[in-house]
Structure 1
Amino acid sequence: MSMEWTRPDLKPRFVHVRRGGQDLLEKQNPAYEGRTSASINRLKDGNVSLKLSDAGTYRCFFPLLHGDTFVQLVVGAVSSPVIVSVNRVSDKVDLQCESAGWYPEPEVLWLDGEGNLVSAGPPETVRGPDDLYTVSSRVTVEKRHGNSFTCRVQQRNINHTTETHITVSEDVFAAPSSAAVRVIIILSVCVPLSCICAALLVLGKRRQNKENKKHGDNKSVDGAAEGEQLLNTKDLIEEKLEEKKDMEHVIRALMEEKTELETSRDNLKTYINILTVFLL
């Protein structure tokens, strides 16, 4: 008995021919040379299956029986999706899902915890040099019951579906926005700096007043007696002591501002670390 496997869309059309217990491959299409095989041990049981790896429409024909049948072969490759990023956008959360190694090109769907479709933009698709597809899809979701979401990648032609799930923490939705973080940083830096500038301004005014007073005292010394000079010298010493106290006061104020700045810096680092954990 003869058995013929052919592809009507090819020339020559022969994929695998067996006749009289022998494989007749002289007329085989060159694209299938060395790539086809029939189960010899199972032919006696009527099993004429052929192993192939090329998509297409194949015809199985038995000349003696005048019977044939057609088989549509779909070849595919699948992979599992992963959630690659979770970012907060205003009062919503942006999720991105990616899956590589698909053939043919798949479609991506987003579902909520109750199985309802979630509206998302068109996926990004890249076909690699190996002809396999990588798909990426992004969706922005609002806070809802359970905060559970599913990224589903499916290929209808090969009837295959894979998916991954994620539950977004309540803290991610409650975390402050990046604008709020910037305001906190500005306030943490600007407020202490304003205090320092004000302290330096006060010190400058005091020193200017003392210089003016000093010049006035120097003018009076020229026409004063020796006793008055001694008195002025005493006053000058007292002024220097007072100026020293003022400097010590400013130094203490600056040290206090330094401590507050260090505390604000540590608190800000802790806050940013916590925010980073939530966003990841």
Structure 2
Amino acid sequence: MITLTIAGSDSGGGAGIQADIKTFQELGVFGTSVITALTAQNTLGVHGIFPTTVQFVEAQLKAVLEDFNVTAIKTGMLFNSEIIECVAATLKNRGLPLIVDPVMIAKGGASLLQQESIQALKNKLLPIATVCTPNIPEAEVISGRSIHTEQELFLAAQDIISLGVQCVVMKGGHLAGDKAIDAVFIKGEVPFVLETNRFETKHTHGTGCTFSAALTAEIAKGKSLQEAVLEAKKFVHLAISNPLNIGHGFGPTNHFVYRQLEGKCDVVCH
């Protein structure tokens, strides 16, 4: 199976293209890439962003799709509205599963998506997406709602589904509590929750990229949305709870451990 990630490069190796390719490899799919921006970053923060031109994004995208039988695609940092519109136009009629990780803010607080791009994301990309995987702050921006309660979470998810997305995974890592809870909303189905014990660590850089890449890999392999989300949750939970402890700031997750432990992980689904 062949997957494609359209995202930014992380020179620190914990997020972006690098995290996606590592995750694809660990889950047994071949990863291809389209780089939307170069970043100078490490575990201490983003020290510079150099966006790729929209023409070169398009050239990379067409080069990959013309030669490889890609079975699932994910997007990460798309940086600006021109790149978003280019990606959406190129993928619109291809009928491929598209997983959108709406990357907006880096762990260190740097903005990774220009403000005018939010409307392009909502109007162009999400209507053709299979899955959207926002964390709570990202879901608030997309839906225009504050999310503090279960009811507000449900309403925000329905707002995002109304844009055309088939499935929304609301990642609850930013919510309080001793459990890491993700709420999954699939159009026309009963919502469900994935729950794991919360692991206290600062080494969480790239968790969103890693989760969405794992989800993309499992969908590429033919898993149902529910099966793919469950396996992706296992992958990222193991990656967080077995930290590498490298770097002096928010370190990367452990992409090796899922394969080493054969995916054995307690996830409660209800």
Give TM-score, length-normalised by structure 2: 0.19
TM-score of the two chains, using structure 1 as the length reference = 0.19
> Which has the greater radius of gyration?
1
